[in-house]
Structure 1
Amino acid sequence: MSISILVINPNSSEKVTKNLEAILKPPPYTIFDFYTAPPDGPPEITPELSELSAKVALPDLLAKDVINKYDGFLVCCYSDHPLVYHLAKHTSKPILGIMQATLLYALSQASVNKSFILTSVNEWEPVLDKGITDFVGSDSFPYKKFQKTKGLDVNVLSLSDPQEFAKIVNRVKSIFDEYKADKIDCVLLGCAGMAGLDEKLTEAFPNVQFIDSVKVGVDLLGGLIRFKSVLP
């Protein structure tokens, strides 16, 4: 039995959506459709614009009757994005944010010693650190499994541009130097605009896992959909 997943880009940038379409290949018996928020939504989501992004996207999604058309939904903004919770008020079908997908991966893999989130710009660092803390249900940052988030200070719309890659590699090298004592062996790519960078960064740093949030998101979501379909 095939399942259908709506991959949601909650900003209005078609460039981000096109990159997702190019990177994601559906697993067997899985159908992907892609959604971009309406033009009045923000073209790039900052911490301050997350709620506006959800406010614009939700009524459009409901008007398109996506709840009845798809088996599950992946919200492709790397944050504790409010659209995940707003959609959940309208359906019991599985909904997953890409940040939560990477955190699930890092916590579930016995081979992972310690991780950190690599995000686009520095203003996301405290927001994502709070997201980690909230996700694990702790009152303090869970240093046993994670180190603090680090930003590349590269605009999200430029993350897939080849000329930026040398800058990214140098930045990652400096972070590994800073976190040398932590024995980091897993990096969570904290932006949907980073889709596809996992393979390039693995070539540059072969002893580290780089987890593409969108790729792991669709795989985990597919599992949740299939598991829920066999529940009594």
Structure 2
Amino acid sequence: MSTNAHTPYRRKLLVINPNSTEAITDGLRDSFATVRLLEEFQVDYFTAPPHAPTGIRDFVTGIQTAAICFDALLERKCLESYDGFLVCCCKVDLLTDHALQHMIREHLGPTSPKPCIGMFEAGLSKALTLSRSFGVLSTGFGPKPLLSKGVTSFLGAAGSNKWVGGVTSGIKIEELRDPTAKDKVEQLMRETAVKVARSGADCVILGCAGMAGMEPLVQAAVREAGLPDVRVIDAAKAGLVILAGMVVTDT
């Protein structure tokens, strides 16, 4: 776990990367550095222990990372030390929230003033509020017939008409922050962004924590394809802002 400041703050937030790829945590830290909330909060970062999976791509790795991280958070007394928690991951096969956030909520109890949210629900909440139609740019490969299940379950009938679907990019999670894969990642991100926009989305949600900071790349790709401009939502950054607001109102 690492910190971005040494000055004491009244409110402390913990950003959790539940996989063991440190480069993804570094990308989150770099992206969040542009959020002015850092002036009012202490924001620390937690990466899954080294024996956890390097990426979360299915139910098995989702459950494994949740169990490993939960044990580590308890051991380090993190759940006692922070005022709010952001879980920066979602399972790409179902595009749904990570089990860790529910484990933290259960541990804290239903009346706890400490909120715990995930980037999945944060990204969808922002898109639902700001867009007419939205889709998700995801990691992973090939068609995912269950990709929309988590989204429609979260949105319900009232919001599902805004959902145009998710598109997998063919990028492995570990490649997103690998300097040797930079050209490949950028090319696939551009191609997939255009596919999401062509499906009718005026808003593209970045569906992986490793995509933090790639909003300009997606916007440029859509514009260069001759399509109308799109709003791009970094779901992890949306989660940080929402979490901070919840912590302020609960204290």
Q: 1:70 to 1:126 in 2, by over 3 A?
A: farther
Q: Secondary structure at the match of 1:43?
A: coil
- Aligned mate of 1:104, from 99, 114, 125: 125
Runs (4+) of structure 1 exceeding 6 A deviation are none
Partner of 1:65: 77
- Matching of residues 1-232 of structure 1 within 5 Å: 2-25=10-33, 26=35, 27=37, 28-48=39-59, 49-78=61-90, 79-91=96-108, 92=112, 93-109=114-130, 112-122=131-141, 125-138=144-157, 143-160=160-177, 161-163=181-183, 164-177=185-198, 179=199, 182=200, 184-205=201-222, 207-229=229-251
Tell me if structure 1 keeps the 8 A contact 2:132–2:202.
yes
Q: CA deviation at 1:62?
A: 0.9
Q: Secondary structure at the match of 1:144?
A: helix
TM-score of the superposition, structure 2-length normalised? Answer: 0.81
Q: CA deviation at 1:186?
A: 0.3
Kindly report the root-mean-square deviation, in angstroms, between the aligned alpha carbons of the 2 structures. Answer: 2.0
Structure 2 distance, partners of 1:143, 1:85, is 23
Tell me if structure 2 keeps the 8 A contact 1:71–1:94.
yes
Structure 2 distance, partners of 1:51, 1:123, is 23
Tell me if structure 1 keeps the 8 A contact 2:170–2:188.
no
Structure 1 distance, partners of 2:188, 2:207, is 17
Q: 1:124 to 1:191 in 2, by over 3 A?
A: farther
User: What residue ranges of structure 2 are gaps of 5+ in the alignment?
Assistant: 1-8, 91-95, 224-228
Structure 1 distance, partners of 2:15, 2:53, is 18
Residue identity in the other structure for 1:103: L
Tell me if structure 2 keeps the 8 A contact 1:47–1:127.
no
Structure 2 distance, partners of 1:33, 1:74, is 10
Q: Secondary structure at the match of 1:122?
A: coil
Tell me if structure 2 keeps the 8 A contact 1:120–1:155.
yes
Q: 1:149 to 1:31 in 2, by over 3 A?
A: same
Structure 2 distance, partners of 1:134, 1:214, is 20
Q: Secondary structure at the match of 1:148?
A: strand
Query: Which sits farther off after the overlay, 187-196 or 115-124?
Result: 115-124
Q: What's the % identity of the aligned pairs? A: 31
